[in-house]
Structure 1
């Protein structure tokens, strides 16, 4: 899957697919040519040739090169080689000229001839450097390994160049093994309706994969953010994301929250920025995006900030920066959104960043799997894609995603769907006689990678008034019942009432929906044995705080036939206590209900004792007893016929209502 687009103008930082055999080593080669005897200075020790005519032609070539007459230089060097076919310095200088002319293929050929003449001498060092890196960039690992091994013998192992060569050898061996063990990846281009521009790249999607936002490069050179919607069978033609966001200057590298209503993107000029490239945030209400706001000096510096990655709930932000204090040149940093609505001081992901460059982080909707590009960790050459997991003890060691997701070309960005089934990316390609362009692709994630990505479900729907059906703004919170910890918090759209919340699989969770002036709604989700990662749609009506308004406490748990509250009931009861504290004039009735198993008298007694247990908890939490009363109805008020276990579960419940 060669040629992921890593960048366009918006980044000021190119890792586009092009021939780059000397990245990071240009200064080394220039100094080598200037200092190597007989190459950069005619006053240095004698050249290796004994042919005076060849030497004269060589020196004339140097004079022509000083005047930047590359054609004349190559002609004179060829004449020198005709006089002496063993003239190593002439081949080396010719290779250098081809490099300057950006003609790697003939440079490769002449450098190979120089190596064959002087395979064990330092004079061939520049040729070894070019040939080995050329082979790596072409993915010709079997040929690169012996070339690098010969090159390595010219330097002490602990020298700076010796260490560079050792790293290149590590790359060659890794690439060789990866190509021999390919993953089952079959990319498919997204429909032509989406590919409406010369180049489109950096795709991101909402958790339900219904909304696609991406960067496009227009013919006039302007970068904008576009949006396309999935309509059951195909994607709609792209539209400008918003006139409030797109300008005549460049906007790019978008990141979306799971519900698609919070956007962070990069802009590098034309706005009131702090540094060379800054991050901006915009929020969607109804169908309108707010005017973008610079994330401010906590996030943005006088340096370079770009390539944002929002967590599913929009409360954690990963991004790339060259600010001081990092591990490498450009590192991944992270910031959390405080309860006060301000971003906290970013911290460096030191266990993930390398001494080189990291790029394009993407945090999966599970909040745990971080995908990113790097040219510092062991890969197949250039930028490879990696994944690391957040654990209780920190980040795991980055793992290379393997071949053919990674190749000898630069790979830059990957978006993985919430359910872990699909990945989206952009691929740069060119046709004979045509300019390079990039298109959007997707592929099914190979099983070996799917096992590493914990899938998540999503819950979406509308929050509305139970009586008037008016859409409501509400807070939706997901709590892990085992740990009592908040997993995610999102807001419904104040105009449409729409919401999307991510639900992790593999546990028991309580979902709470609260809105001012309404009873809170509690729901229960048990994913202990489920890993489907599929989404659900659930519209939630909220009852206003009026007499006789009632709700079920769906996260109150008792052992069968007992009235002792289970520990995981604490979250629900704490919420109810908080509601009563915030609404001090409200008095409520707690009622217990059972199914029809057992005799009626025992069920009535059990329902009363369970209701009393809830009242006792609330009293202990500081709620006055005069505001709470309890009652038990046993099996007399079923919600559904006691015909199966699911209905019986519904009938075993604790309700509360306003008096």
Structure 2
């Protein structure tokens, strides 16, 4: 971060006055003349001689501080401003020295040193004046920074891999849910920004390559966001493409290994204003982004849009308070849990510049953002953060600084400290391949996750049409049904109970789908039907499964099916046979009530006679207690 723009004129912070010594005045004037000629380095010795000649020359100390600061010599600048304040500590004309000194100290993270100067500076203004409010904000920063550094988070960042460092800088890392595919923005020597990708094989990262020739151009592309499965990408381009404003958002989708030609997200998302820094939800159906369009709370705010069933993005909604402030928010990242929003802001109280925060979306709206603390945040600008699906790891870029100037940016990772890990509701993921059970041909299946308590779709993703690959996020804290379906095939239902379990690192599951063939012996288990022990009454949360089966029968009006009930070997065999028959009949009754003609459904009870596994363990017995269906 640079403190001053070297191309702006000398900052007229202080009105000139002159010391009593004529020689000091001449030296002062010569220094000002040289700086006016853009010769800052030559101007400094004359101003240094001026304060030596007249140690009470307050204005010379002020200008000397500015010259040092302009040439990025911060320690001498601090000393010069301190001398100016020492000479006239109570004079309002020293306000510029207080302002400059405290700003440097805050930006260097020297909060303890800044506090007494800010406290004195505040007394020079009426309590409700704009100047006093600005100083009060700086005081908040100094006190927060001091407290944060006294209670650091247990964080040990490490470079992600030297293999990735093929360009002068890398930043804005995003990953797939399994953390095996990485996309980041790379700054090339010629100044072009491109999107690069690398893969992780469990031990090492591959050398990065251009994401796609259809995406990268001689102009800049950057700040990308990936869906959890890595098959949908939204990125920012600010010139070189036909767009609507200064920066626009574009989308590309991957089929097999090829990315489609990017498409502008259109005038609902993009305007004549600034749109950038996208963040996709895990299933790609929510988009968060930054814009300075009218209707916000500050200059740049975070907005959100939903992807509808009609294939269009909804009118973006401002997240409002308490996330957005009267200043700037940046680089949102919505965690795969769909609730935790990480973002940068210079409007919330932090350690100076942009800090990273997290807020959670609940029934009553967004929570008050929490600062991620030191050393994740420091006195420099923090750009963005990506947190893994399981909440264990974080990825970000760190800018190495020299004399306040960014030298290079590298990708880093660290284990999320316990206080933050407890805050992030972790998720797991299920990935694999969907294929025809008979031919092994990959299938472009729809994979839907449904909350059994609410019967609401939590996420919906598509398996790749060329490879059959899919990735679905599995949230914690509930019971979920996962449905894999393709027209012309029996749907597959899977069950996941995460009400008590600790989320793992992910599951891999190949999903073979059986084609709809009359008289086939292939059957599917209805894994989301629930009965009390020894009873045949269907639990309310079974509705999701039964509605799916009814929809299948309505879509395939010529199909007739058998509903088969099975039990384990516990209890009387005759009683088990009766129970299995009644459970199958309960399913038929539900389907009939849903409008399916009774002669299309046959109920059969097999009791314990057709186990899937030996009844030698509780887990095997659970597998054997089931309802199956097949086409007859």
Aligned-residue offset at 1:589: 1.5
In structure 2, what is the equivalent of residue 403 of structure 1? 374
Cα deviation, 1:132-157, whole Å, max 9, x if unaligned, reads 11111111111111010011110112
Give, in whole Å, the separation in 2 of the partners of 1:443 and 1:92. 43
Identify the match of residue 385 of structure 1 among 356, 366, 387: 356
1-side partners of 2:37 and 2:618: how far apart?
90
- Picking from 633, 643, 653, the partner of 2:616 is 643
Q: Is the 1:505–1:533 Cα contact (8 Å) retained in structure 2?
A: no
Aligned equivalents of 2:366, 2:4: Cα separation in 1: 32
Deviation at 1:595, TM superposition (A): 1.1
Please report the TM-score for the alignment, with normalisation by the length of structure 1.
0.92
What is the distance in 2 between the residues matched to 1:62 and 1:460? 67
Asked if residue 517 in structure 1 is aligned to residue 473 in structure 2, the reply is: no
| Cα distance per residue 1:44-84 (max 9 Å; x no partner) | xxx46344554455456555555555456545544443442
| Counterpart check, 1:252 vs 2:222 | yes
Distance 1:72 1:532, change over 3 A: closer
- Match runs of 1:132-143 below 5 Å: 132-143=102-113
**Contact conserved, 2:344 with 2:356, CA < 8 A, in 1?**
yes
Check the 8 A contact 1:185/1:405 in 2, yes or no. yes
- Hey, what's the Cα distance between the residues in 2 that align with 1:70 and 1:191? 41
Instruction: Please give the alpha-carbon distance, in whole angstroms, between the structure 2 residues aligned to 1:269 and 1:240.
Output: 19
1:373 is aligned to 2:333 = no
For residues 244-643 of structure 1, the aligned pairs below 5 Å read 244-351=214-321, 352-429=323-400, 436-547=407-518, 548=520, 549-643=522-616
Distance 1:115 1:630 in 2: 92
Q: CA deviation at 1:608?
A: 1.3
CA distance, structure 2, for counterparts of residue 71 and residue 436 of structure 1: 22
Distance of 1:654 and 1:552 partners within structure 2 = 6
Distance 1:166 1:546 in 2: 75
**SS at the partner of 1:436?**
strand
Which residue of 2 is the match for residue 8 of structure 1? Answer: none
Q: In 1, distance between residues paired with 2:146 and 2:237?
A: 39
Q: Give a deviation string over 1:348-404, Cα, whole Å, max 9, x none.
A: 111201111111111111111111111111111111111011111101100000111
Cα distance change of structure 1 residues 104 and 580 upon mapping to structure 2, 3 Å threshold: same
Partner SS, residue 154 of structure 1:
coil
Deviations 1:11-68 (A, max 9, x none): xxxxxxx232799xx99x95643xx4xx2xxxxxxx4634455445545655555555
| Structure 1 unaligned blocks of 5 or more | 1-17, 40-46
- What number of residue pairs does the alignment pair up? 627
Runs of 4+ in 1 over 6 A off after TM superposition: none
Q: Does 1:215 align with 2:185?
A: yes
Give the 5 Å matches for 1:96-175: 96-175=66-145
> Aligned with 1:193: secondary structure?
helix
Deviation string for 1:509-538 (max 9, x for gaps)? 110011011111101111122123320000
Residue 457 (structure 1) shift: 0.5
The structure showing larger relative contact order (alpha-carbon pairs under 8 Å, at least 6 residues apart) is 1
Number of the residue aligned with 1:197: 167
Contact 2:434 2:469 in 1 (8 A): yes
Distance in 2, matches of 1:533 and 1:249, equals: 41
CA distance in structure 1 between the partners assigned to 2:5 and 2:42 by the alignment: 25
What is the CA–CA distance in structure 1 between the aligned matches of 2:2 and 2:43, rounded to whole Å? 23
**What is the CA–CA distance in structure 1 between the aligned matches of 2:241 and 2:383, rounded to whole Å?**
26
C-alpha distance in structure 2 between counterparts of 1:280 and 1:431, whole Å: 35
Task: Check whether the contact 1:506–1:531 (CA below 8 A) recurs between aligned residues.
Answer: no
Q: Which moved more, 1:515-524 or 1:83-92?
A: 83-92
Q: Which residue of 1 aligns with 2:152?
A: 182
Contact 2:529/2:539 (8 A) holds in 1: yes
| CA deviations over 1:474-500 (Å, ceiling 9, x no partner) | 000011111211111100000000000
In the TM superposition, 1:13-52 aligns within 5 A as 18-20=1-3, 30=11, 32-33=13-14, 36=15, 39=16, 47=17, 49-52=19-22
Segments of 5+ residues of structure 2 without an aligned counterpart are none
